[in-house]
């Protein structure tokens, strides 16, 4: 029996290796915060977790994986759109192995930011540690596929980077420390500098195809609108302005990186206007708006999450994630296929 099984396993691995090496986008690899977090925080001592009901209610099997959503995230849909698997696993999830990670993995950590001080607030994984996990992943990938094939997977992978929201919402606009050190414009510059260094670092490790997602209209998140005492339930325009200014600076940095680093292609995925339209004109997309929180204490707040732009006070619903992914996919295909 063993004589029959082992050759079959070997043949399947050869087919997988050939598929990986020939794919235009070999894998989807995510860095960032809760918008790409598929469960890494489940395995560290932090309060920033969502591995409980009703999170995951619309995920395959109804499982609360740790995604801050009722179902799948936009990287899951992007991966599926490139003909890869429909679910990107969390790197720290022990139920997955390098064979699963070879076509996609998330290093994301909910509540993290570019700023190490942001990650410290809830003791989550800082961006520099995500990079360390990525280095470890590369070592495992080379052991699994061999150097030549692994290097092709690394260079042909699409790297989705979505981070920065918590630097403003949890940190700068909520706590005094960074406000005492920086004006909002100076803090934007500080974060963009970290973003630039991060791209250069993963470029030096072999990354060549990157999608950097803009900040969303932060002042229109339900949690922010609920704080708008002077103009109840309307967007906090100060927060939106900060996001737009940051996006402009990040976009300029992306252009500079594309010019300066040979072989690098960074796509600036501007999702700000799309989310603003969804929030301000949800009926045009068959949605309704909500400024309430779906959690274990109010399990019936969003009985049909597919109707809502937001699943909780910060995070988009699976339906919104699908809309964003559908908007980005044609542009990503144009850039990277």
φ/ψ region of 32 (left if φ > 0, alpha if ψ in -120 to 50, else beta) reads left
245-to-109, 185, 252, 255, 262 alpha-carbon distances in Å: 25, 8, 11, 16, 28
- DSSP per-residue codes, 284-325: GGT-B---S--STTSTTS-S-GGGBSBSSSSSBPHHHHHHHH
* CA neighbor of 234 nearest in space, from 246, 242, 226: 226
8 Å CB contact between 73 and 83: no
Q: Which two tokens stand for residue 172?
A: 């700068």
Q: List, in order, residues 6 or more apart from 68 with CB less than 8 Å away.
A: 34, 35, 37, 50, 55, 110, 311, 312, 314, 315
224-to-81, 136, 176, 285, 288 alpha-carbon distances in Å: 32, 37, 17, 23, 18
Please give the sequence-ordered ranges of beta strands (E in DSSP) within the chain, or none if there are none: 28-32, 104-106, 158-162, 209-213, 265-269
79-to-71, 122, 131, 188, 293 alpha-carbon distances in Å: 15, 29, 21, 30, 28
Burial class (CB in 10 A: 0-12, 13-18, 19+), 110: buried
Residues involved in catalysis: 34, 312, 315
CA distance 189 to 250: 9
Q: List, in order, residues 6 or more apart from 165 with CB less than 8 Å away.
A: 33, 35, 113, 215, 216, 218, 314
Secondary structure element (H or E) that encloses residue 3, with its range = helix 2-22
The alpha carbon of residue 150 and the mean position of all alpha carbons in its chain are separated, in whole angstroms, by 23
């Amino acid at each position: 029996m063993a004589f029959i099984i082992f050759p079959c396993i070997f043949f399947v691995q050869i087919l997988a290796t050939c598929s990986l090496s020939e794919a235009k986008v070999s894998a989807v690899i995510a860095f960032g915060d809760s918008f790409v977090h598929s469960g890494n925080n489940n395995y560290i001592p932090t309060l920033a977790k969502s591995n409980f009901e009703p999170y995951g209610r619309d995920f395959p099997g109804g499982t609360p994986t740790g995604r801050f959503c009722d179902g799948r995230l936009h990287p899951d849909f992007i991966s599926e759109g490139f003909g890869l698997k429909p679910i990107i696993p969390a790197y720290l999830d022990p139920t997955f192995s390098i064979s699963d990670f070879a076509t996609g993995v998330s290093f994301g950590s909910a509540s993290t930011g570019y700023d190490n001080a942001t990650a410290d607030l809830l003791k989550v994984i800082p961006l520099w540690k995500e990079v360390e996990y990525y280095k470890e992943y590369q070592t495992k990938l080379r052991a699994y596929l061999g150097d030549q094939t692994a290097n092709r997977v690394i260079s042909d992978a699409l790297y989705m980077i979505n981070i920065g929201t918590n630097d403003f919402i949890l940190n700068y606009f909520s706590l005094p420390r960074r406000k005492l050190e920086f004006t909002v414009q100076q803090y934007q510059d500080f974060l963009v500098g970290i973003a630039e260094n991060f791209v250069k670092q993963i470029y030096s490790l072999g990354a060549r195809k990157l999608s950097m997602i803009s900040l969303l209209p932060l002042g229109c998140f339900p949690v922010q609108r609920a704080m708008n005492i002077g103009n109840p339930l309307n967007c906090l325009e100060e927060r939106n302005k900060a996001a737009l200014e940051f996006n402009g600076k990040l976009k300029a940095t992306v252009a500079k990186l594309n010019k300066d680093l040979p072989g690098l292609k960074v796509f600036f995925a501007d999702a700000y206007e799309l989310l603003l339209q969804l929030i301000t004109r949800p009926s045009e997309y068959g949605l309704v708006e909500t400024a309430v929180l779906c959690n274990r204490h109010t399990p019936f707040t969003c009985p049909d999450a597919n109707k809502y732009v937001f699943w909780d006070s910060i995070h988009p619903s699976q339906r919104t994630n699908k809309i964003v992914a559908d908007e980005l996919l044609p542009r990503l295909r144009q850039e990277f296929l």
